[in-house]
Amino acid sequence: MITLELLQLEFMQRAFIAGIFLAPLLAVLGSFVTLRRMSFFADGIAHASLLGVALSILVGVAPFGGALIIGVVFGVLIFLLERYTSIASDAVIGIIFTTGLALGIILISLQSGYQPDLISFLFGNILAITWSNVWMIGILSAGILSTVILMFKKFTLTSLSEELAWTSGISTTYVNLLFYVLLSVAVVLGVKLLGIILVSALLITPPVTAKLVTGSFRSYVMASVVFSLIAFIGGLFASYYLDLPSGASIVMSASTIFIAVLLYTKILKKS
Amino acid sequence: MNALEINDVSFEYVKDISVIDNVSFSIPEKATTILIGPNGSGKTTLLKIMIGLLEPTSGTVRVYGKKPKDMRNNIGYVPQKLYFDKTFPITVMEFLKLADTSSEDEILSILESVGANNLAPSRIGELSGGQLQRILIARSLLGKPKILFLDEPVSGIDISGEQNFYDLIKDIQEKYGVTVVMVSHEVNVVSQIANQVICINKEMLCSGEPSEALLPEVIEQLYGKNVSLYKHQCK
């Protein structure tokens, strides 16, 4: 009854559909992100995408598209700098991250008055998700997930060892570039729901939780998706009934599951 | 026929500082060749050039007449160490399925041939150094390579396991008729399994059958006076 009441609200329907696409997408990509130790990359892209939001506000177009384009541009830039310079990966991301963010802040400061789009991008806002956003999230999520399924073995082997992947005939440069682009798009899609500051939580927490209780790669990816969906649905319900911010509620829901699973595995090991 | 030909290969990580200096040699087909040299002599760099992971600064490398990059499906490679997150949940069977389209039966058969058939359900992060090396060899054999490169394969194995490992390499070479190229800093391994030895210390110091190529003065050049003195004293 309670569920039906909640789902009768149109903004909740939009949020629910967007989350049902995004939660599995972030969990699947997050499974590789934790293997590759790329958590900082996701944070970097999310923050740098603020430049896209600011540029869009400045020229008067929808910020989502601008954030997507800038997210991909910065993702490719990070890839190229990591690949073709001797600068350490975390330093590259740190520079890109702060440059994008700083440019975004400067551009926003040129605008006068309150910027609702900006606030929704910073902290996420399910009320700000439109039906056109839902369509875009649905189509892009389905496209990215299909690509990941097709490239699953290549992504896994390249994540485990680039040397082994290369000697197996895999074009690691293209596989890595593709992964960076797909991840950049997914992160910006996630920003719409969770916000720039919190998006990496849904990318990292469910896979790390799954890692605690799984013994094979297949079960790990599946458990990541399940934990991610539970975190999203639980967080959305909590947000509605406790009148809390949606993004933060979803992240807290994921963190609660992580703590519960961690305690369970620790207790189980002791007994 | 030669499986591999290297002509005038040099390599620099930093401009004007050679790690490999004008090296030329060939490796015969279906034989076991060992590259020896002290630590830091450029052996691993040379091996990475041979499999195409690094491009030489100058010179050419041909594997069965083609560039290494174009022969990747015929090359098996066992790295010195596999750097990965040990807590990562992936089983040996899943790991081996990533290599190519081999069936579970084929994978189990290869695992049996390297003495690791009981490890299929184990997580790769839980394996010992020796077990992981066996799995990496099994993986490299799945693609039915013509040439197998091993980089210091016994570096993670205790002394008692080393002999078993060399026996395994010998068996594999005979069973699969594969050309084996192995890098080692140990001189002793040469007499056990090598048909040919190549001595490297930035430049090539010897090449040929072990009994002819591994002269005391070459060993002294490779490892210094102390090693040869020690050997003479032992004699």
Q: What is the pLDDT of residue B233?
A: 38
Q: Which two tokens stand for residue A53?
A: 């939001």
For chain B, the distance separating the N- and C-terminal CA atoms, rounded to the nearest angstrom, is 39
Identify which of B94, B100, B143 has the shortest CB distance to residue A216. Answer: B94
Predicted local distance difference test score (pLDDT) of residue A183: 96
Contacts of B89 in chain A (CB under 8 A): 211, 214-217, 219-220
Q: How far apart are CA A22 and CA B19, in angstroms?
A: 49
- Taking CA atoms, what residue in B is nearest to A164? B77
Tell me the chain A residues in contact with residue B107 when contact means C-beta distances shorter than 8 Å: none
Contact predicate A23/A224, CB 8 Å: no
Euclidean distance between CA atoms A68 and A185, whole angstroms: 6
User: Residue B17: in which H helix or E strand, if any?
Assistant: strand B17-28
Whether A160 sits inside 8 A of B53 (CB atoms) is: no
pLDDT for position A23:
94
Residues of B in contact with A34 (CB under 8 A): 85
Tell me if residue B14 falls in helix, strand or coil: strand
Distance, in Å, from the CA atom of B116 to the CA atom of B135, rounded to the nearest integer, reads 7
pLDDT the model gives residue A75: 94
- Inform me whether the C-beta atom of residue A98 falls under 8 Å from chain B C-beta atoms: no
Whether B51 and A167 lie within 8 Å, measured CB to CB = yes
pLDDT confidence of residue B229: 39
Q: For residue A220, which residues of chain B lie inside 8 Å, CB to CB?
A: 89-90
CB–CB contact B91 A215 (8 Å): yes
Q: How far apart are the first and last CA of chain A?
A: 40
Q: Rounded to whole angstroms, what are the CA distances from B37 to B9, B155, B197?
A: 17, 15, 10
Counting as low any pLDDT under 70, the low residues of chain A are 1-4, 113-117, 269-271
- Closest-CA distance of chain B to residue A214, Å: 6
Q: Which of B51, B87, B98 is the closest to A157 by Cβ?
A: B98
What is the nearest CA distance from A212 to chain B, expressed in angstroms? 9
Nearest CB to B72; choose among A161, A167, A211: A167
A80-101 as b/e, with b when 16 or more CB fall inside 10 Å? ebbeeeeeebeebbeebbeebb
Q: Could you tell me which chain A residue has the CA closest to the CA of B83? A: A161
The answer to whether the Cβ–Cβ distance between B89 and A215 falls below 8 Å is yes
A 46-75: CB under 8 A from B: none
Give, in order, the Cα–Cα distances in Å from B233 to each of B38, B227, B230: 21, 10, 5
Decide if A215 touches B, using CB distance below 8 A: yes
How confident is the model at residue B227, as a pLDDT?
56
Q: Which residue has the higher pLDDT, B226 or A201?
A: A201
Which helix (H) or strand (E) covers residue B109, if one does?
A: helix B104-113
Best probe of the A interface among B47, B86, B90, by most A CBs < 10 A, is B90
B89 to A217: CB separation less than 8 angstroms, yes or no: yes
Q: Distance (Å, rounded) from C-alpha B75 to C-alpha A203?
A: 36
The set of residues, in sequence order, having a beta carbon less than 8 Å from that of A103 and lying 6+ positions away, is A51, A54
Mean pLDDT rounded to a whole number for chain B: 84
Q: Do A216 and B97 touch (CB under 8 A)?
A: no
In chain B, % of residues over pLDDT 90: 28
Residue B230 has pLDDT above 60, yes or no: no
Nearest Cα to Cα of residue A49 among A86, A77, A20, A19 = A77
Q: What's the pLDDT band for B221 if we cut at 50, 70, 90?
A: confident
For B152-186, how does the pLDDT look when each residue is reduced to its tens digit (9 = 90+)? 887 767 777 777 788 888 888 888 889 999 998 77
Nearest CA among A181, A193, A194 for reference residue A73: A181
Q: Say what percent of chain B tops pLDDT 70.
A: 93
